[in-house]
Amino acid sequence: MRNKPIANVNADLLKERKNCSFDIEELTNLIDGGKNQTARRREIENMLLKNMPFDIIPEECLSAKEKYENAVRKSVALNKIGVELVSQVTKAKELSDLTLTLRRVSDAYFREVTPFLLHLGMFIPTILGQCSDEQVAHWLPLAMQLKIIGTYAQTELGHGTFIRGLETTATYDERTEEFVLNSPTLSSSKWWAGGLGKTANHCIVVAQLYTKGECYGTHPFIVQIRDMDTHMPLKGLKVGEIGPRLGFQTADNGFLVFDNFRIPRDSLMMKHAKVLKDGTYVKIARHSKLTYGTMIFVRVLLVSEMAFNLSKAVTIAVRYSAVRRQSELKPNEPEPQVLDYLTQQHKLFISISTVYAFQFTSNWLMKTYHTVQANMKHGNTDALPELHALSSCLKAICTSDCSAAIEQCRFACGGHGYMISSNLPSLYAFTTATRTYEGDYTVLLLQTARFLVKTWEQVELGNAVTPMVAYLARHQNREAWDESPEGIIRAFEAIAAGVYQTESVRSVSFGQSDAIKDVMKQLSDLYLLYWSLERTGDLLTTLKSTLGSYDGRVYERLMEEALKSPLNQEPVNESFHNEPEPQVMDFVSQQHKLFIGIASYYSYSMTALWLWDILTKVTSELGVGKTDRLPESHGRAVFMSVFNSEMEKSVSSLSAPLQAVLRQLVELYLYYWTLEKRGDLLLVLQSTLGSYDGRVYERLMEEALKNPPNKEPVNESFHKYLKPFIQGKL
């Protein structure tokens, strides 16, 4: 399909393609993983093109409800084809190739994401990674054939990062051989799970397991949450959609609250731990963090997700830059393509090289993941800490870099890049979320830092460490490395860069032509050079700091430096004898401090007048006494208002200079208290997170409940599409 020449192609694009130094098909094969895979991908694309319903109205022009229903309609059509294709597959490798191809191709049908993303991305992988063999045999076929639709509810209103702090409880009742699920507090409400709001009928719930009065920590449970026929939420739970968000608008992210909700004993996913009928807890896992396995898997997946999303963004931006012409450089000559500007190339080329850095590293990381998994099947968990550290840091960096690079691509497209139809805003909204979900950026980097520090300790003791971190031993020389945060980050960057270079060289070392090798080498060099320039500061071996030296001789160095000062070369400066001491007011640095203060004063005064209106409005709207701070605000408001009006009345007979000074005093009073009481003024922030009273969780839940999708218990797309599909009647 893609090989056929397309009519009416822009002449500039044609020209650029003709200039290409290598065979595009060869690179396509490299990206797809071989000629056969390219052929298979095209076959699937053709099949989908023939059978998939397209949008009649652009997705972005629909209401939130219509967007969701449209996404369900398309997902069901796509899943029908997907399930059919999966049923023809016999080998594991074919299945993983097919899933990946379907994932990539399906993206073309959604501006946002499918409500089934969590079913594919987390529900199925958790069944595979957390269920006993018997449980896998039961649940996997149902999930693969989409007879059930699942999601993954771990995060709660109160905790996302700190999993050990989750509050949902699963208490074993040995009389009935059931677990009883409860959400004991508002902050324990499950929050965020994709597909939970309206679509899923099953859910993996992570809860604190209690049996025989003991808490054994968090464990995953597989829980039915909606009636399979009516789709109504089951008795004992409250479930709904959490409300509008930056992206993921069609993913119906949801909340879930349990009230003595009973589930059978075997709802506990029992690969790593069991609870026997009599309530005895049996630990199976050799490593306490194996229940976190799905997160590692998804972090690994996300590296290739980022490569793919950035590849789309940069393709859009490069094509557009070839088409777009701007500015007359030479009179009577055509305006140049913006692609020809060096500054434009600077924006774009690093993104191209980043795509390849991510993709090669992702292939390598996935292989590493499978090797570690295979070892763990035989009981060897030695490599797990390193895999955790590696997947954490690569996930953190690639998601962060990817969304920043997509922003650059959007900037590179000027105003038109801001149009939803350019797809760049949606790509950004999707990828910027990845920096937070599946482990926040900072938190994951800290996990890696923890691993590196521990490894460093091993190096110090002269113990052997794994090949990936062996460079720490090689660089024991203090001049090159130190154990400061910069040193750790530098070490981390060395890993990423090292993998990219070796993997890209390995991947292009056979089969591929010289032309492709040249281009890959250039991209690899660009990536390394770009980041060494970006991080020059980190690469400097001396920190040039008296305070940050490795040996910690802070005071000695401060004194040594002080003694070098030219002022200390003479015991008495000649100004003692000859010059009067200057007024401090004459120092420019002093003027800087003061004049900025004066300027700020005037600008804040203006702002204060504006804020004043709002404060009065808020005070009168909410009523005095509604919160403990309001009476105070009211009193302050009375003072301000009386001072202001009374002063105006009394100053009219005074001289102009005195009037001016007194007016300034009024302003100073308003300004001072506006700053002092700015917490109270936050009432106007219109934010669930930033309210003065800090009732964050209450407000999030109140807003979620106002959400239109929650006004109907079952969305009509269930009857129209989901139910006939699940029952095989579509």
Ligand X SMILES: CCCCCCCCCCCCCCCCCCCC(=O)SCCNC(=O)CCNC(=O)[C@H](O)C(C)(C)COP(=O)(O)OP(=O)(O)OC[C@H]1O[C@@H](n2cnc3c(N)ncnc32)[C@H](O)[C@@H]1OP(=O)(O)O
Catalytic residues, by residue number, are: 438
For residue 298, the partner it binds in ligand X, ligand FAD, none, with Cβ less than 5 to 8 A by kind, is ligand X
| 101 vs 155 by CB, closer to ligand FAD | 155
For residue 153, the partner it binds in ligand FAD, ligand X, none, with Cβ less than 5 to 8 A by kind, is ligand FAD
For residue 115, what is the DSSP state?
T
Q: If binding is defined by CB under 6 A, does position 154 make contact with ligand FAD?
A: yes
Q: If binding is defined by CB under 6 A, does position 193 make contact with ligand FAD?
A: yes
Residue 524 near residue 353 (C-beta atoms within 8 A): yes
* Tokens at 103, concatenated: 């994932």
Rounded to an integer, what distance in angstroms lies between the CA atom of residue 319 and that of residue 337? 11
From 30, 127, 163, 722, residue interacting with ligand X (rule: CB under 6 A): 163
What is the enclosing helix (H) or strand (E) of 263? strand 261-264
From 181, 237, 384, 611, residue interacting with ligand X (rule: CB under 6 A): 384
Q: If binding is defined by CB under 6 A, does position 538 make contact with ligand FAD?
A: no
| 389 vs 412 by CB, closer to ligand X | 389
Q: Quick one: which segment of 195-203, 222-230, 292-300, 458-466 binds ligand X (CB under 6 A)?
A: 292-300
Q: Is 635 exposed, middle or buried (0-12, 13-18, 19+ CB in 10 A)?
A: exposed
Q: If binding is defined by CB under 6 A, does position 192 make contact with ligand FAD?
A: yes
From 109, 110, 116, 152, residue interacting with ligand X (rule: CB under 6 A): 152
Tell me the backbone φ, ψ of residue 248, rounded to 5 degrees: 50, 30
Amino acid, res. 457: E
From 194, 195, 240, 254, residue interacting with ligand X (rule: CB under 6 A): 194
Q: If binding is defined by CB under 6 A, does position 439 make contact with ligand FAD?
A: yes
CB of 270 to ligand X, least distance (A): 19
Q: If binding is defined by CB under 6 A, does position 129 make contact with ligand X?
A: no
**Residue of 469, 463, 501 lying closest to 488 (CA atoms):** 469
Q: Quick one: which segment of 2-10, 434-442, 629-637, 709-717 binds ligand FAD (CB under 6 A)?
A: 434-442
From 18, 91, 93, 164, residue interacting with ligand X (rule: CB under 6 A): 164
For residue 99, the partner it binds in ligand FAD, ligand X, none, with Cβ less than 5 to 8 A by kind, is ligand X
From 59, 97, 252, 305, residue interacting with ligand X (rule: CB under 6 A): 305
Binders of ligand FAD among residues 442 to 461 (CB under 6 A) are 442-443, 446
Q: In sequence order, what E strands does 90-201 have?
A: 152-153, 169-173, 178-182, 190-193
Binders of ligand X among residues 613 to 672 (CB under 6 A) are none
Q: If binding is defined by CB under 6 A, does position 121 make contact with ligand X?
A: yes
Bridge partner residues of 134 (DSSP):
none
**Residue of 201, 196, 298 lying closest to 253 (CA atoms):** 196
From 118, 127, 396, 491, residue interacting with ligand FAD (rule: CB under 6 A): 118
For residue 579, what is the DSSP state?
S
Residue 499 near residue 467 (C-beta atoms within 8 A): no
Q: Quick one: which segment of 74-82, 187-195, 509-517, 617-625 binds ligand FAD (CB under 6 A)?
A: 187-195
From 385, 498, 548, 713, residue interacting with ligand X (rule: CB under 6 A): 385
Tell me the backbone φ, ψ of residue 702, rounded to 5 degrees: -60, -45
* Tokens at 561, concatenated: 């430096």
Number of residues that bind ligand X (CB under 6 A): 35
CB of 443 to ligand FAD, least distance (A): 5
From 82, 220, 243, 439, residue interacting with ligand X (rule: CB under 6 A): 439
Who contacts 583 (Cβ-Cβ below 8 Å, separation ≥6)?
none
Rounded to an integer, what distance in angstroms lies between the CA atom of residue 608 and that of residue 602? 10
Tell me the backbone φ, ψ of residue 487, rounded to 5 degrees: -60, -40
Q: If binding is defined by CB under 6 A, does position 273 make contact with ligand X?
A: no
Output the CA–CA distances (angstroms, integers) from residue 51 to 54, 385, 540, in the order listed.
9, 45, 57
From 437, 471, 643, 669, residue interacting with ligand FAD (rule: CB under 6 A): 437
Amino acid, res. 441: Y
Amino acid, res. 413: C
For residue 103, the partner it binds in ligand FAD, ligand X, none, with Cβ less than 5 to 8 A by kind, is ligand X
Q: Quick one: which segment of 47-55, 87-95, 151-159, 402-410 binds ligand FAD (CB under 6 A)?
A: 151-159
From 295, 499, 520, 666, residue interacting with ligand X (rule: CB under 6 A): 295
3-state helix/strand/coil string of 396-452: HHHHHHHHHHHHHHHHHCHHHHHCHHHCHHHHHHHHHHHCCCCCCHHHHHHHHHHHH
Q: If binding is defined by CB under 6 A, does position 696 make contact with ligand FAD?
A: no
Rounded to an integer, what distance in angstroms lies between the CA atom of residue 381 and that of residue 31? 32
Place of tokens 């109270």: 680
CB of 444 to ligand X, least distance (A): 7
Output the CA–CA distances (angstroms, integers) from residue 357 to 6, 188, 510, 637, in the order listed.
31, 40, 19, 59
Rounded to an integer, what distance in angstroms lies between the CA atom of residue 597 and that of residue 669? 15
* Tokens at 610, concatenated: 């504006």
Number of residues that bind ligand FAD (CB under 6 A): 22
From 125, 150, 194, 197, residue interacting with ligand FAD (rule: CB under 6 A): 194
| 52 vs 696 by CB, closer to ligand FAD | 696
Residue 170 near residue 210 (C-beta atoms within 8 A): yes
Rounded to an integer, what distance in angstroms lies between the CA atom of residue 707 and that of residue 241? 7
For residue 355, the partner it binds in ligand FAD, ligand X, none, with Cβ less than 5 to 8 A by kind, is none
Residue 347 near residue 413 (C-beta atoms within 8 A): no
Residue 271 near residue 131 (C-beta atoms within 8 A): yes
| 146 vs 318 by CB, closer to ligand FAD | 146
Mark 466-505 with x for binding to ligand X (rule: CB under 6 A) and - for no binding: ----------------------------------------
| 155 vs 168 by CB, closer to ligand FAD | 155
CB of 289 to ligand X, least distance (A): 4
Q: If binding is defined by CB under 6 A, does position 388 make contact with ligand X?
A: yes
CB of 439 to ligand FAD, least distance (A): 6
**Residue of 356, 351, 354, 334 lying closest to 412 (CA atoms):** 351
Bridge partner residues of 275 (DSSP):
281
Q: Mind giving me the DSSP string for 315-338?
A: HHHHHHHHH-B---SSTTSPPPBG
Binders of ligand FAD among residues 234 to 273 (CB under 6 A) are 248, 253
CB of 149 to ligand X, least distance (A): 14
Q: If binding is defined by CB under 6 A, does position 500 make contact with ligand FAD?
A: no
Rounded to an integer, what distance in angstroms lies between the CA atom of residue 185 and that of residue 192? 17
Q: In sequence order, what E strands does 548-648 have?
A: none
Q: If binding is defined by CB under 6 A, does position 103 make contact with ligand X?
A: yes
Q: If binding is defined by CB under 6 A, does position 292 make contact with ligand X?
A: yes
Residue 194 among known ligand-binding residues: yes
Residue 250 among known ligand-binding residues: no
Q: If binding is defined by CB under 6 A, does position 438 make contact with ligand X?
A: yes
Rounded to an integer, what distance in angstroms lies between the CA atom of residue 149 and that of residue 143? 7
From 80, 147, 450, 663, residue interacting with ligand X (rule: CB under 6 A): 450
Tell me the backbone φ, ψ of residue 453, rounded to 5 degrees: -65, -45
Bridge partner residues of 305 (DSSP):
none
* Tokens at 233, concatenated: 């939420």
From 16, 55, 177, 440, residue interacting with ligand FAD (rule: CB under 6 A): 440
From 70, 155, 250, 512, residue interacting with ligand FAD (rule: CB under 6 A): 155
Interacting residues with ligand FAD (CB under 6 A): 118, 152-155, 159-161, 192-194, 248, 253, 433, 436-440, 442-443, 446
Which residues contact ligand X (rule: CB under 6 A)? 99, 103, 117-118, 120-122, 124-125, 152, 154-155, 160-164, 194, 289, 292, 295-296, 298, 301, 305, 384-385, 388, 437-439, 443, 447, 450, 454
Which residue numbers belong to the known binding site for FAD? 155, 194
User: Residues annotated in the binding site, as ranges?
Assistant: 155, 194
